[in-house]
Amino acid sequence: MRKDTDFFILVFSVGLFVCTNIFLMASGKLPISFNGFGIVLGAGLTLAIYSFLYKDNPAFKIAENLYVGVSLGYTIIIVWFNFLKPDLYDPLIVPFFSEAAKTPQYTLLVPSLLGIFMLLRFSRNLAWLSRWTFAFVVGLGAGISIPRVISAFILEQIKPSLRPAFTGGETILSSIDTLLILLGVTSVLIYFIFSLEHKGTIGKVSKVGIWFLMISFGASFGYTVMARVSLLIGRVQFLLKDWLGILQ
């Protein structure tokens, strides 16, 4: 009985979708062109994915897997045209076959080799070579980040937290805010020190830290709701405007 109902809903939905598109194209609201069919495909995929809200179903899974495949294909092609071709193929390979080109940039052999070593992690015997690449990447990452993180994220962030609460010209409220920020930063940092037992004064200060954290999590929750709703609005705008032509 349940299966019959689901089958009926599927047939009805597909039928309605087809009829709507025939109407839209016949009435000239959607152009009969590549772009017109593209919009139909986009609307179909959008609705197929939303069908998940009713229950998990084949239309949703097909749309989801097709999306994964197309994104994968797109990424590979973009990587070719934007990275492999201009950064390796053109400066390193082309000069061997074309007299007009400049001499090959042999230094590029080093990162290419390291890149190939990384791909060897799928080989049984040579997987250890990928460690050289990871060591290079991780070592470089550690080296460039130490001074920059200290400067940009630690010193630059401590500076405004320690600014004078009153230098003249501020309102009392803004001076209180400055002190509150200092209190918040300190108490949150103390809350995160787990090597100290949270008892006595430390315990009290870390409690204040929790209150600051809770307010900020509340703010983050509010903003997360905002973000998800915005995405939904965008998709409904696409359906109502680009596909159905209801919105101007």
Partner 1 sequence: MNFLKRTIPLIIAFTMGVLMTLQYYIPHKLSQDLLEVVTRWDRIIAGFAVFIGAYSLFHLHWTRIKRKVEGWGYSVFVYFGAIITLIFGLINGGKFFWNDKQEGTMFDWLYYYIQVPAGATIFSILAFFIASAAYRTFRARTRESTVLLIAAVIVMLGRVPVGNYISLYIPAIADWIMAVPNLAAKRGILLGVSLGAVATSIKIIFGIERSYLGGGE
Partner 2 sequence: MERFLRIDRRIIFAIIAGAVIISLILQFELPIPGSKPVLAVYKKIESIPENSHVMIAFDYDPSSKEELQPMAVAFLHHCFSRNLKVIAMTHYPGAPGLVEQALNAVAGQYGKEYGEDYAFLGYKPGGASLIINMGENLYTAFPKDFYGNDTIALPILQGIGSLRDIDYLFDLAAGTTIETWIVYGKEKYRFEFGAGCTAVMGPDMYPFLQSNQLNGLLAGLKGAAEYEALINKKAFAVSGMRSQSVIHAIIILFVLFGNIIYFMSRRTRHA
Give the interface with partner 2 as residue ranges (CB under 8 A).
53-54, 71, 74-75, 78-79, 81-83, 85-87, 90-91, 140-141, 144-145, 148-149, 151-153, 156-157, 159-160, 181, 216, 219-220, 223-227, 229-237, 240, 246-247
Name which of partner 1, partner 2, none residue 146 binds, using a CB cut-off of 5 to 8 Å depending on partner kind.
partner 1
Reported for 213-218, long-range contacts at CB under 8 A and 24+ positions apart, including other chains, are: 213/188
Site string for partner 1, 147-186 (x = CB under 8 A): xxxx--xx--xx--x---------------x--xxxxxxx
Q: Which is nearer to partner 1, 1 or 138 (CB)?
A: 138
User: What token pair was written down for 31?
Assistant: 């152009």
Q: Which is nearer to partner 1, 1 or 164 (CB)?
A: 164
DSSP 123-183: STTTGGGHHHHHHHHHHHHHHHHHHHHIIIIIIHHHHHHTS-S-SSS--HHHHHHHHHHHH
Which region, judged by CB under 8 A, interacts with partner 1, from 9-17, 22-30, 130-138, 195-203? Answer: 130-138
Name which of partner 2, partner 1, none residue 17 binds, using a CB cut-off of 5 to 8 Å depending on partner kind.
none
Q: Which is nearer to partner 2, 202 or 239 (CB)?
A: 239
Which region, judged by CB under 8 A, interacts with partner 1, from 4-12, 16-24, 162-170, 203-211? Answer: 203-211
Query: Shortest Cβ distance from residue 32 to partner 1 (Å)?
Result: 15
Name which of partner 2, partner 1, none residue 91 binds, using a CB cut-off of 5 to 8 Å depending on partner kind.
partner 2
Amino acid at 141: G
The rounded distance, in Å, linking the Cα atoms of 214 and 184 is: 11
Dihedral angle sign, alpha carbons of residues 65, 54, 243, 16: positive
Query: What are the start-end ranges of the H helices in 27-161?
Result: 34-50, 58-79, 94-97, 109-119, 130-149, 156-161
Query: Shortest Cβ distance from residue 140 to partner 2 (Å)?
Result: 8
Count of residues that bind partner 1 according to CB under 8 A? 117
Write the CA distances from 118 to 79, 115, 152, 160, 179, integer angstroms.
Answer: 17, 5, 31, 43, 50
Q: Which of 193, 185, 191, 188 is nearest to 159 (CA)?
A: 185
